Structure 1
Amino acid sequence: MAALPPVVKAFIVQALACYDTPSQVVKSVQEEFSLNITRQQVESHDPTKANGRKLAQKWVDLFTFTRAQLQKKLSTIPIANKAYRLRSLDRMAADAECRSNYAMTAQLLEQAARECGDAYVNRKKN
């Protein structure tokens, strides 16, 4: 296993911090840098995995910083917001019901119930 250049290591660490899978990272590295690496090489750059426990501190810090920035940005993405998703489902359900598409309406209501914390369950209460 050849040593990777620092720029490639940074790319891998940041991709993993953004929740990309090792397979996705392998493909991205191939496309971006024209390097063939293995999933095991990628996993060794993830400090949350056993393979990454010996990762240098500067890469752990980069991973932590990138993940924190990602979490901050998630709040700016509308679909990541529960209220936005519920409002969208409400509009879709109303539209489906107006069109007499009751099967779709039922599916959307079930999805909305799940969105509210698994309120839609198929079990008996004692």
Structure 2
Amino acid sequence: MARLKKAEKIFIVRCLAQFMSISDVISDFKEKFNIDVSPQQVEYYDPTKAASADLSQEFIDLFNEARKEYINQPLHNIVGANDIVQLQILSDLLVSKKGNVVMSIKLIDQIQKIVKGHYEKKFEITGKDGGAIKTETEHSQRPAMYTPEQLAGMSAQELSRLAINGKL
């Protein structure tokens, strides 16, 4: 069992506060500090586990503060939370997995789910004299038939999307 310095202990506590698994903490710790630690040694620094019964209050407070910061961070700090980023990643995967039909179908389905979310808008309308709120969903519909001029004005990506969805 390696003897850890305070900075190394803080690293472990912060990783665990961010919901990292013990095996991920071990591999990140090995990569950063070039020191091998056991799963039991890492688990000791997680105040949510029984193994940390005699963990110092300093590390418990650090864990709680780090977890609170992690949970309360703005959503835009997470790269994958952006629809455009998700679509780009899925598009890159689709190109690389072109030979795998099952995976391609799953990727196309996921792309469609993200894209269709952009076309749905919900409006809340109050009833007469402030009555019950009625929710209506509005779908933006594309025309069923396209003119040659409309098709000429579309990008290759839009044309392929229409073909994939069976609307061309």
> TM over 0.5, yes or no?
yes
Unaligned runs of 5+ in 2: 87-112, 120-141, 143-157
**TM-score after normalising by structure 2:** 0.49
Using the TM superposition, give the Cα deviation of residue 72 of structure 1 relative to its aligned residue in structure 2, in angstroms: 1.6
| 2:53 alignment partner in structure 1 | 53
Could you say which structure has the higher strand fraction?
2
> 1:16 and 2:16 equivalent?
yes
Deviates more, 1:69-78 or 1:33-42: 69-78
The structure that has the greater radius of gyration is: 2
Say how many residue pairs are matched: 99
Using the TM superposition, give the Cα deviation of residue 54 of structure 1 relative to its aligned residue in structure 2, in angstroms: 1.8
Cα distance in 1 for residues equivalent to 2:60 and 2:118 = 43
| 1:73 alignment partner in structure 2 | 73
8 A contact 1:17–1:66 mirrored in 2:
yes
Q: Residues 19 and 88 (structure 1 numbering): CA distance in 2 closer, same or farther, change over 3 Å? A: farther
Unaligned runs of 5+ in 1: 103-126
> 1:98 and 2:162 equivalent?
yes
RMSD: 3.2
Q: Deviations over 1:16-37 (max 9, x none)?
A: 0011110001011111101000
Higher relative contact order at CA 8 Å, sep ≥6: structure 1 or structure 2?
Answer: 1
**TM-score after normalising by structure 1:** 0.63
| 1:30 alignment partner in structure 2 | 30
